[in-house]
Amino acid sequence: MRLAVIGHPIAHSLSPVLHEQWLRASGLFGRYEALDVAEEDLSGLFQAMRDGEWDGFNVTIPYKETVIPYLDELDLAATDAGAVNTVYKRDGKLIGTNTDGAGLVAALSPLTDWSGRVLVIGAGGAARGIISALPTRDVTITNRTMERAERLAERFGIEAKAFVDVDIARYDVIIQTTSVGMDGVHSPQSLNGLRQNTVVCDIIYRPLVTPFLKEAAKKGAIIVNGTAMFVGQGALAFEFWTGVKPDRFVGMKLIESLLEE
């Protein structure tokens, strides 16, 4: 079995370590590579998959939308998200899916029954994929640019609010999807009024604990770092390719150990 993650740049990716561990644990012979691909080489790469040289791809920045014309079909998850992060083959066809949102929902579901209110911070591609996978529509989206938040809110039938109008105390689950916090200094949203035991997730995993999560932890929240979505989306992709459900817990511990080094 030959698998890869494709993007540019790609050297930083932890996907090869994660998937090769799962391949070994599943007793499957194969390898998983990181391919730094130029846009003009995408066509040839997907033709190589049609020809049997590859069994599956993960797709990362900047190609999650660029790859769509090279595929035969998109499933509902990819259509709703408007982006592809996983390509697999069925009956000779290349199918695009998006496992980001479902992967995160699976990771958070042991911590919440989704009966309460959900706040999503950010209105980019990650937010779109997550909102499409949420098992509730009692969702509020907030974003620095309200126009983008309102477009997503209209698409999914949810509420949009400006940062200053968000009452943090109303929410049972808060999901931070922006890149703010990757510098280890800034936070995208004040958590004044946050209730204890609120589930607070930041999809950033470098650093493992962002300023946003540090503030949430001080207020007694249940915090979830970005490895939850990274490992969750990877596990679903692995299942599409192999039919095997990998051990997410082992995957989380592996990735966290690498990020803590």
pLDDT at 181: 84
Q: Which pLDDT band, with edges at 50, 70 and 90, does 247 fall under?
A: very high
Domains, the chain, ranges and CATH?
Answer: 2-98+228-260 (3.40.50.10860), 102-225 (3.40.50.720)
Q: What is the pLDDT of residues 59-114, one digit of tens each?
A: 998 999 999 999 999 999 999 889 999 999 999 999 999 999 999 999 999 999 99
User: Per the annotation, does 157 bind a ligand?
Assistant: no
Catalytic amino acids?
64
List all residues 6 or more positions away from 117 whose beta carbon is below 8 Å from its beta carbon: 138, 139, 140, 170, 171, 172, 173
Q: What is the mean pLDDT of residues 5-34?
A: 96
For the stretch 108-167, pLDDT in tens is: 999 999 999 999 999 988 899 999 999 999 999 999 999 999 999 999 999 999 999 999
pLDDT band at residue 260 under the 50/70/90 scheme? confident
Half-sphere exposure of 142 (CA within 13 A, CB side): 18
Nearest alpha carbon to residue 98 among 80, 77, 82, 127: 77
Q: Does 203 carry a binding-site annotation? A: yes
Q: What is the pLDDT of residues 177-226, one digit of tens each?
A: 998 888 888 898 889 999 999 999 999 999 999 999 999 999 999 999 99
Q: Identify the pLDDT of residue 162.
A: 94
The answer on whether 145 is annotated among ligand-binding residues is: yes
Give pLDDT, residue 150.
Answer: 97
Is 221 known as a binding-site position? no
Mean pLDDT, residues 232-245: 97
**Nearest Cα to Cα of residue 58 among 14, 26, 90, 102:** 14
Can you give the pLDDT at residue 185? Answer: 86
The answer, yes or no, to whether residue 261 has pLDDT greater than 70, is no
Q: Is 124 annotated as a binding residue?
A: yes
